[in-house]
Copies of this chain bind each other. A is one copy, B any other.
Amino acid sequence: RPIDGVTADTAMPGTVADLMEPVTGLLPEHATVHDAIEFLRASRDAQQITYLYTVDRDERLSGLVVIRDLLLSRPDQALSEIMLPAPFSLSPDLDASEAIKAAVHRHYPVYPVVDAQGRMCGVIRGWRLFEQQAIEITAQSGQMVGVDKEERIDTTLWTAFRMRHPWLQVNLLTAFAAGFIVSLFEGTISQIVALAAFLPILAGQSGNTGCQALAITLRGITLGDLAKFPVRKLIGKELMLGAMNGCFTGVIAAAAMWWTAAHEHNPQAPMLALVIWLAMIGGCTLSGLFGVMVPLTLRRFGADPVTASSIFLTTGTDIAGMGLMLTLATVLVL
């Protein structure tokens, strides 16, 4: 479902100034309701005016006038009597992300933009902030695997390469950790080669189980649900979910191992099936834990909980899934 109306120029602005429109309805606060109505009548931009704004003697923003209140007031009243004084405003050099955070929950149709001297330099429409927020959230699934939030479909090859490649090198480094664990068990694998085929199965299952927990945790952080939901309860739930999912997918994987091993006339087939079942339960349970802990740990250390979270997660799930399988095989079968 495309977000209609997203145009190239609204995509990924740096600051409030980039999203700003010119001020249209600015009046001195001592002007009367009659003056304001005459101003609106004469204005070519009347269609664009949602609120009028007032300035004090030093030309600083002092209030906001709702058009409805003009209608319900006497023509001789001063705007200072009917205005909302000291309205909420945004600074032009504020980061767009920060502006969203500060403004979006107020649900105003328009926000005034005010410089350091208190002078109004523009307005931002509320929908622009909402649209910007939606654009930022669409970046999350990419950020999880090391795509920069600036990257869009039309980003040039070279820029995309420069932004993605470092995280792929990080991913390689973490994959070496998983590879190193496997290499420790070369003796086991050379004796039970069937285990090699189950390496990607264990890694794939624990990885996907962990990614489910990671996604739901990140969603909770983004939507602010985690502030209301105790982390301990979330960890408990994901551990249990991991165990249950590992148990029921593990039964199928264990059956596949039994069948494979029996097919190769391996007398240890039942024991190998048990190894797979236990490794699936253990690997998926740990993956549930990692899925919650990776973003929370990143956040605790002041990092973005989304960026590269999937890369860090799969290191853990690879080691948990494959490491457990090979350890159990070494201990129980050899």
Contact = CB atoms under 8 A, between A and B. Distances in A.
Interface in A96-138: 97, 100-101, 104-105, 107, 109, 125-127, 130-131, 133-135, 137-138
Given A183-B197, A256-B176, A147 B212 contact: yes
A298 interface: no
A100 B46 CA distance: 28
A3 interface: yes
A152 B237 contact: no
Interface string A43-79: 0001001000000000000000001101110000000
Contact of A260 (B125, B167, B183, B189): B183
A35 interface: no
Nearest to A103: B4
A160 to B, nearest CB: 6
Interface stretch (A15-23, A86-94, A241-249, A266-274): A241-249
A119 B165 CA distance: 57
A329 interface: no
Interface in A1-43: 1-6, 11, 37, 40-41
Most buried by B among A200, A208, A225, A248: A200
Interface in A146-181: 146-147, 151-155, 157, 160-161, 164-165, 167-169, 171-172, 174-176, 178-180
A307 interface: no
A153 B5 contact: no
Contacts of A155: 216
Nearest to A97: B1
A245 B201 CA distance: 25
B322 A200 contact: yes
Contacts of A70: 71
Contacts of A37: 71-72
A164 B248 CA distance: 12
A245 B160 CA distance: 11
A151 B213 CA distance: 11
Interface of A: 1-6, 11, 37, 40-41, 46, 49, 67-68, 70-72, 97, 100-101, 104-105, 107, 109, 125-127, 130-131, 133-135, 137-142, 144-147, 151-155, 157, 160-161, 164-165, 167-169, 171-172, 174-176, 178-180, 182-183, 186, 189-190, 193-194, 196-201, 203-205, 207-209, 211-212, 215-229, 234, 237, 240-241, 244-245, 248-249, 252-253, 256, 260, 310-311, 314, 318, 322
Report the 10 A-B pairs with minimum CB-CB distance, sorted nearest first: A2-B224, A4-B105, A5-B105, A142-B215, A153-B220, A130-B130, A183-B197, A175-B204, A141-B141, A145-B211
24 contacts: A2-B227, A3-B105, A4-B101, A5-B104, A5-B107, A41-B72, A70-B71, A138-B140, A152-B220, A153-B223, A164-B212, A164-B245, A165-B248, A169-B249, A172-B204, A175-B205, A176-B201, A179-B256, A186-B196, A189-B196, A190-B190, A200-B200, A204-B318, A211-B310
Given A107-B127, A153-B226, A186-B194, 4 more contacts: A141-B144, A147-B212, A147-B215, A172-B205
